Structure 1
Amino acid sequence: MNRNIFIKNSLLAGAALVAGEANPLAAQRLPRKKEKAFNMKFSPEFGIFKEVVGKDLVEQIKWGYDQGFRAWENTWLARRPVDEQERISKTVQQLGMEFGQFVGTMNFKEPTFASRDQAIRDHVLKEVRDSVEIAKRMNTKYIHNVLGMADPKLPWDFQMANAIELLKRCAAIYEPHGIVMVMETMNHKINHPGMFLHTIPQAYAMAKAVGSPSLKILFDFYHVQIQEGNIIPTLDYAWDEIGYMQIGDTPGRNEPASGEINFVNVLQHVYDKGYRGFMGMEHGISKPGKNGDLAALAAYRSVDPK
């Protein structure tokens, strides 16, 4: 290379480096490397990759998009201020992503759906009505409602009848808006002893009894593996009533490939059956720091269906 050209280029490179140091935002304006989109609609939750990308909500979504994620979810969204919800929704829609589930009503202390306590049931219905406006703001049709504790004072069949009646009222609120309530089974053995809804057959029976397109099952692989096992046959039997899925390995409730579930086979099976819905990433990271986050990201590439 001509010596004068070499010196000129070196000076230009040095000037650019100094400018970058003087203005930290300059580096952020550089084009980000964009990875191939995942085939499965994996949907991260805020904070799952915070060691790599930081705490800013918008930056987390943008980073997720660059890594190939085309969806997002946030369980605790309803607790966020409206302006924050709008900021999240705007970012998701500008990127052409989709927003999945958030929780409309949740109670881990009292019988809600299983009980006949009118004050509690009225409160549930108020939160269900309030969740409609949040769903519209987020441009999503999926709302996750938790069915509360079992009622030890009532025979099981009475509890089921109470829950089905309240689920019908929830579905009637959601149907005119095209919204789907999803209900999640939660394991008794490790995380949620005493919860009313804890098996897929129970959820399936209630979905069939309600008979509404606005009520479906949230199939969480972590909970199902702990409570029941037999994942693929259980999933196949309940297939027509499953509206949403969430992922997490066991033991530990961490990313795929960190535990005992063969997610390569399970997710390929789900994909081959035609599921193109959300796969919510509701779990922790098994290893600490940035390397742990990046290892979890690599794990998702390894289990993405073909």
Structure 2
Amino acid sequence: MFRRTFVKSAIGLAGLAAVNPLQQGFAAQPAKNNFKLRYAPHFGMFQNSAGKDLIDQLKFMADNGFTALEDNGMMGRPVQEQEKIAREMDRLGIKMGVFVVDKGGNGANTLAAGKKEHVDIFLAGCKRAVEVAKRVNAKWMTVVPGDYERSLPLGIQTGHVIDALRRGAEILEPHGLTMVLEPLSDTPNLFLRYTDQTYEICRGVNSPACKILYDAYHQQKNEGRLIHHITLAWSEIGYFQVGDEPGRKEPTTGEINYKNVFKYIHDRSKAEKLDFIIGMEHGNSKPGKEGELALIKAYQESDNF
């Protein structure tokens, strides 16, 4: 339900407090800023409830307490659409989370190989990302270095990645932007897979423009002990993403105790006056509007600490 109808509807339904709000078609969190953390949905996550129009989806997110957005494909959107999204986010008080630096590193363009042509593609992506970030008021952008170059020793590959990322940081740092490196679990061929490995690379780059994107779903698969590893790497973490395991759906659908993970992030970031975005990098466990309301309820439950 959108903000423009909430007050009117609430008055008209006074006295029906005993009725299940989900039966009335309400979203589970009608008021903005109820969540303790800044959770960031992505476009399409609520399209059954809000419709396919991106602006209506943003309104639905805001009306249900979400104060951030991430959009991996933002760089590929037309400029006019980027500007329209940015204006509505500003009006709603929604903060922009990550988008992906396109061609920033993949199986065919790995930074671990140390090849000039690969690095040039990455640096060109960083330059384009600066313009997009300015347009949509973003600070963070996701970078994945790509696959292993198995013909080279691991230390040499690591040095190549650090060298390339230093050059990327030189582009981003003057603009106050930060690339966040995401260790992934999708395939053993990926060069960047573990928290300590990513920490080491960030320390080697030695720039505020290069930090860790800690995705708890991937790290539950790769290494476990989530709070332990978050604690060890805390100084180099710039951004969080979540998804439960197995299944990569919303919290409460798998084995991760997100209530404890969220409490740790909240309590420590509050004490240190930090403002992390928690990207909702997962699917919905159930289809349709029912699944979208279940997702909201799962975040209410996990945020209740």
TM-score between the two structures when normalised by the length of structure 2: 0.87
Equivalent position of 1:126 in the other structure: 124
Structure 1 stretches of 4+ moved >4 Å? 27-30
The equivalent position to 2:112 in structure 1, one of 114, 127, 131, is 114
Q: Deviations over 1:97-146 (max 9, x none)?
A: 21111011344322421012111111111111110000000111111112
SS at match of 1:42: strand
**Is the Cα–Cα contact under 8 Å of residues 40 and 305 in structure 1 kept in the other structure?**
no
Are residues 1:234 and 2:229 paired? yes
Amino acid at match of 1:193: P
Equivalent position of 1:86 in the other structure: 83
Rounded to whole Å, the distance in 2 between the matches of 1:159 and 1:281 is 31
Shift in CA distance, 230/66, structure 1 to aligned 2, threshold 3 Å? same
Equivalent position of 1:4 in the other structure: none
Equivalent position of 1:60 in the other structure: 57
**Any unmatched runs of 5+ in structure 1?**
1-26
Amino acid at match of 1:260: E
Rounded to whole Å, the distance in 2 between the matches of 1:294 and 1:118 is 48
Rounded to whole Å, the distance in 1 between the matches of 2:169 and 2:38 is 25
Are residues 1:224 and 2:222 paired? no
Rounded to whole Å, the distance in 2 between the matches of 1:121 and 1:46 is 30
Rounded to whole Å, the distance in 1 between the matches of 2:210 and 2:304 is 27
**Any unmatched runs of 5+ in structure 2?**
8-29
Amino acid at match of 1:269: Y
Equivalent position of 1:253 in the other structure: 248
Q: CA deviation at 1:28?
A: 7.6
The equivalent position to 1:181 in structure 2, one of 176, 179, 182, is 179
Amino acid at match of 1:157: G
Amino acid at match of 1:234: H
Q: Deviations over 1:151-187 (max 9, x none)?
A: 1111111100000001110111111101111000001
Shift in CA distance, 277/28, structure 1 to aligned 2, threshold 3 Å? closer
**Is the Cα–Cα contact under 8 Å of residues 181 and 213 in structure 2 kept in the other structure?**
yes
**Is the Cα–Cα contact under 8 Å of residues 149 and 196 in structure 1 kept in the other structure?**
yes
Q: CA deviation at 1:32?
A: 2.9
Rounded to whole Å, the distance in 2 between the matches of 1:247 and 1:148 is 21
Amino acid at match of 2:75: A
Alignment of 1:153-232 (within 5 A): 153-187=151-185, 191-232=186-227
SS at match of 2:214: strand
**Is the Cα–Cα contact under 8 Å of residues 32 and 67 in structure 2 kept in the other structure?**
no
Shift in CA distance, 180/207, structure 1 to aligned 2, threshold 3 Å? same
Shift in CA distance, 28/300, structure 1 to aligned 2, threshold 3 Å? closer
Identity among equivalent pairs (%): 41
Rounded to whole Å, the distance in 2 between the matches of 1:129 and 1:32 is 42
Amino acid at match of 1:215: C
Equivalent position of 2:257 in the other structure: 262
Rounded to whole Å, the distance in 1 between the matches of 2:301 and 2:188 is 33
**Is the Cα–Cα contact under 8 Å of residues 271 and 305 in structure 1 kept in the other structure?**
no
Cα RMSD for the two superposed structures: 1.6
Q: Deviations over 1:201-236 (max 9, x none)?
A: 100000111111111000000000000001111010
Rounded to whole Å, the distance in 2 between the matches of 1:40 and 1:277 is 8
Rounded to whole Å, the distance in 1 between the matches of 2:173 and 2:3 is 44
Equivalent position of 1:12 in the other structure: none
Shift in CA distance, 111/48, structure 1 to aligned 2, threshold 3 Å? same
Q: Deviations over 1:54-77 (max 9, x none)?
A: 211000000100001111110111
**Is the Cα–Cα contact under 8 Å of residues 111 and 150 in structure 1 kept in the other structure?**
no
Equivalent position of 2:6 in the other structure: 32
Amino acid at match of 1:88: I
**Is the Cα–Cα contact under 8 Å of residues 185 and 197 in structure 1 kept in the other structure?**
yes
Rounded to whole Å, the distance in 2 between the matches of 1:124 and 1:110 is 12
Q: Which has the larger radius of gyration?
A: 1
Q: CA deviation at 1:30?
A: 5.1
How many pairs align? 277
Are residues 1:243 and 2:238 paired? yes
Rounded to whole Å, the distance in 2 between the matches of 1:305 and 1:41 is 14
**Is the Cα–Cα contact under 8 Å of residues 241 and 278 in structure 2 kept in the other structure?**
yes
Equivalent position of 2:281 in the other structure: 282
Amino acid at match of 2:111: F
TM-score between the two structures when normalised by the length of structure 1: 0.87
